[in-house]
Structure 1
Amino acid sequence: MDPRRVDLPVPGTGERLGVIRHGHYGRPVLVFPSEAGRAEDFESNGMVEAVRGLVDGGRVSFFCVDSLDAWSWSDRSVSIEERARRHATYEQWLDRVVIPFIHEETRGPHELITLGVSMGAYHAVHYAFQRADVAPLALGLSGNYDVGTWHAWGERGDATYFANPTDYVAGLHGDHLDWLRSRLSVLLVCGRGAWETHPTGALPSSIRFAELLADKQITHQLDLWGEDVAHDWPWWQRQLAHHLPRFC
């Protein structure tokens, strides 16, 4: 099946964001791009080719989405709280439009994997926490899971708290925590090389977030690669090829 881009409406706005499918069968994977990226980026940066055997063999089907980061998290002209409120619009698009689209395409519903690199790793992990009912497995490559470190300014309120995994995971308790323990698995992968600490903060954030998951007894794995492993696509290709086959 040749990949095709479908532009889907964003609820409450006049905007449309794109979804591109790669693969004809297999476990569906919801793929988030790096910061302010587009659905085309996953293929154009060699990620589909890195696991071509899984795609052609009908073991995995990628659904790559556009980001809304340029209007939300990447817009440093507005406060962190306003950015978080804008991000909620993106989550509504995922919930109301993208997930039903994936179910229709796959004749589902089927359990999803969420996947992302860099800021996309944040989206993948955060969305799985919000929707573990449909996406019980998240793969985050070189992610920073604390939005408070993203050139944040202004007062942080509820919108920021509930959009920030480092905040709300620390506060999890009771029945909801028990359900997440029974349902959700998180894989965090990060290198120790160029750009993983500065300026992205991915390495310290991945380590800290894994500690939070361990404290809450949420199923997870932290896989740290070597000091030659940079925050860049060639390494994400290798990491994806290393880990994805065991999940599909």
Structure 2
Amino acid sequence: MQEDYRTWYSHHLGRDIEMSVYGNWGYPVVLFPTSMGNYYEYRNFGFTETARWFVESGKVKLYCIGSIDKDSLYAKHLHPGTRIWNHVLYDKFLHEELVPGIQRECNVQKIGVGGASFGGYHALNFAFRHPEQVGHLFTMGAAFNIRSFLGGYYDDNVYYNNPPDFMPGAQNDEFHRMNIVLGTSAYDFCKGSNYQMSDILNRKGIRHQLDVSPWGDHDWPVWKDQFPRYLSMI
């Protein structure tokens, strides 16, 4: 399976973001890593291998990107206001720099986003903040409330990056055109967060699938089983 290493210099972040890109063509799907993960994490855990058929047949093009978690929500050495602001800058990098570049490269109006664990938070937060850019959203073993990272600190940046807070009042027709899958498992400690998000979406009449695997916990075997099933929905 073809893998290309790339860097993208972000003017918002003032740094390079590393990524691995799989495939030459196909519908683009951006994968966010787990907590403080890097761009090669999905390869190392055999996750990208589960998408081999989709990539080699030209159905899907995967963009596995790095995060800045160590300088944002996980940066306990920084003031909470600085942590969330750094996260906002990461969102600006995605919204204004990376995703438009992928849209041009793949000649698509919308992309897919996904991720396991904290990568699922990144995917869902981006999709629900910018639904005009996202056609498919897949989360696996994710939780979506970031308040616990900030020690009681709260401002508008926290509100607009905390989906359980902003989604109940959010209005956008593009929510109803998005293919949304919330994946979890029977013994996943994040299962309750997925039921909560599903309830929010149900109350808003937003179609989605809550996929609860009947086995497994918060770990890679579950996510590797779920991911190719989700890709088949594109």
Mark the runs of 5 or more structure 2 residues left unpaired by the alignment. Answer: none
Q: Report what 1:163 is aligned to.
A: 161
* SS at structure 2 position matched to 1:136: strand
> Which whole-Å CA distance do the structure 2 matches of 1:134 and 1:13 have between them?
21
Matched, 1:240 2:227: yes
Distance 1:46 1:27, change over 3 A: same
Displacement of 1:37 in angstroms is: 1.0
The answer to whether structure 1 residue 204 and structure 2 residue 192 are counterparts is yes
Aligned counterpart, 2:18: 18
Amino acid at match of 1:148: R
RMSD: 1.7
CA positional deviation for 1:246:
2.1
Q: Which residue of 2 aligns with 1:40?
A: 40
User: Which 4+ runs in 1 deviate beyond 6 A?
Assistant: none
Contact 2:12 2:90 in 1 (8 A): no
- Quote the offset at 1:63 in angstroms: 0.9
What is the CA–CA distance in structure 1 between the aligned matches of 2:79 and 2:182, rounded to whole Å? 28
1:230 aligns with 2:217: yes
Indicate the structure with greater strand content: 2
User: How far 1:129 sits from its partner (Å)?
Assistant: 1.0
So what's the TM-score if we normalise by structure 2? 0.93
- 1:205 & 1:78 partners in 2: Cα distance? 27
Matches within 5 A, 1:18-167: 18-106=18-106, 108-150=107-149, 152-167=150-165
Q: 1: CA distance between counterparts of 2:79 and 2:178? A: 31
TM-score normalised to the size of structure 1? 0.88
For 1:181 and 1:93, locate their aligned partners in 2 and report how far apart those are by CA, in whole Å.
22
In the alignment, structure 1 segments of 5+ residues that lack a partner are none
Which one-letter code corresponds to 1:170 in the other structure? P
Counterpart contact for 2:84–2:158, Cα < 8 Å: yes
Q: What amino acid is the match of 2:126?
A: Y
When structure 1 is superposed on structure 2, of 78-87 and 50-59 the one drifting more is 78-87
Q: Which residue of 1 aligns with 2:185?
A: 191
| Cα distance in 2, alignment partners of residues 167 and 181 from structure 1 | 16
Using the alignment, how far apart are the partners of 2:40 and 2:3 within structure 1?
10
CA contact (8 A) 1:119 1:144 kept: yes
Query: In the comparison of the two structures, how many residue pairs are matched?
Result: 234
> CA offset at residue 79 of structure 1?
4.6
Equivalent residues of 1:37, 1:66 under 8 A apart:
yes
